[in-house]
Amino acid sequence: MEFLSSLTLSVFCIQVLVGLSKATILFIVASGLTLILGVLRIPNLAHGSLYMIGAFTTYTVAVYFGQSSAGFWLALLLAPLAVALIGLAMERGLFRFLYQRDHMMLLLFTFSFALVFGDLVKMIWGSDYRSLSVPEVFQGSFSLLGTPFPRYNLFLLCLGPLFAFGLWFFTRRTKLGKISRAAAVDREMVGAVGINVNLIYSAVFVLGCYLAGIGGALVAPTQNITQGMDQSIIIEIFLIVIIGGLGNVWGALLGALIFGLTDAIGILLAPQFAIVFPYVAVIFVLLFRPQGLLKSVW
């Protein structure tokens, strides 16, 4: 490591942290997608739209409370719940009738949802840019040997492991989690032992939507809240879910880490061509493990 002076080492470390905080958001959103994909077998193209709705709802709630810090925390609580409710309506209202259908059919249905949600967002919030302040405690940045790191990103970094642990706990330690894993493997068998599979499906779909919503709520203070957020994230999270192994939550974590870190390090090493780095990583993974890094439930 001789070529790294103390200064560039600090830049490198900060850049890794930046990559990890980006990976956190990607993981939270992608884990919701992969849960739904694994258990319900729905390739939900509207997942990005739910993330967008999460961000817009956060904006509305926070502004309603005068853009105060308390308003933001309240929004962080309420917005994902609102998205989860939309998820419940989607699952009970439509998807439960379609589980026996072809995947292509489901894909088209979710695609239509993405288009409808896009228009709804335009109708409700208009097409202006929206921007939300970072809550007061996280404003500004701290610096490591002269390289700044936004405080809010530090907050995101802390959330990453928390969500990973939470999902681990849910899938491995709770009854609902265990049953949903079983339902992912064999729906008929789970039904045959007298478990209400429909309820499990609803719960998992709602949880997945909740994760999309909280992802949107968390990025709201750092980005433009605008139409098109859905499209920019849906491609990334689908790639993450694919390289991680379809339906595997740990795969989503691994995929998000690969995506976030190659992106950040790529920008440091070759800023002219940084855009391609995560995609090159995806190609490499798929060349050597076309089924994804971890075990796919499909």
Partner 1 sequence: MKTLVGTLAFAVLAACVLLAVPDAQAAKKIKVGIVDCYSGPPSTYTNDVRDAFALAVKKINAQGGVLGREIEFVTRDSKFKVDIGLAAAKELVMREDVDILMGTINSALALAVADLAKTEKIPFLATFAKSDKITGEKGNRYTFSMNENTAMIGKAAAVGLAKLPYTRYWIAGDDYEYGHAIAEGVWNHLKLLKPEVQLLGQSWWKVGEPDFTPYITAMLAEKPDAVIVATGGRGCVPFLKTAQATGFNKQVPFYMHTATELSTLKPLGTDAPEGVIGTANYHSHYPDTEANRAFVAEFEQAYGRTPAAGALYGYITAQFITKAYQKAGKVDTEKFIDALEGLSVDSPIGEVTVRAEDHQVMLPMFMGVTKKAPGEETLTATDIVVIPAAELMPSAEEIKKSRAK
Interface with partner 1, residue 91, by CB under 8 A = no
Give me the half-sphere count of Cα atoms (radius 13 Å) on the Cβ side of residue 8: 8
Interface pattern 40-79 for partner 1 (x via CB under 8 A): ---------------------------x------------
Q: What is the DSSP string of 80-121?
A: HHHHHHHHHHHHHHTGGGTTTS-HHHHHHHHHHHHHHHHHHH
Number of residues that bind partner 1 (CB under 8 A): 47
Who's near 24: CB < 8 A, 6+ residues apart? 156, 157, 159, 160, 163, 256, 260
Interface with partner 1, residue 268, by CB under 8 A = yes
Which residue type does 11 have?
V
Interface with partner 1, residue 216, by CB under 8 A = no
The closest of 137, 218, 180, 174 to 38, measured between CA atoms, is: 180
Given 176, 195, 226, 297, the residue binding partner 1 (CB under 8 A): 226
DSSP three-state, residue 149: strand
CB of 148 to partner 1, least distance (A): 5
The closest of 297, 205, 176, 184 to 248, measured between CA atoms, is: 297
Choice between 196 and 231, CB closer to partner 1: 231
Given 222, 286, 297, 298, the residue binding partner 1 (CB under 8 A): 222
Residue 143 phi, psi (nearest 5)? -125, 140
Interface with partner 1, residue 9, by CB under 8 A = no
Interface pattern 112-151 for partner 1 (x via CB under 8 A): ----------x----xxxxx-xx----xxx-x--xxxxx-
What are the structure tokens assigned to 261, written together?
């870190």
What are the structure tokens assigned to 30, written together?
């992608």
CB of 238 to partner 1, least distance (A): 16
Interface with partner 1, residue 157, by CB under 8 A = no
Chain residues that interact with partner 1, rule: CB under 8 A: 7-8, 11, 14-15, 18-19, 21-22, 67, 122, 127-131, 133-134, 139-141, 143, 146-150, 152-153, 219, 222-224, 226-229, 232-233, 263-264, 267-268, 271-272, 274-275
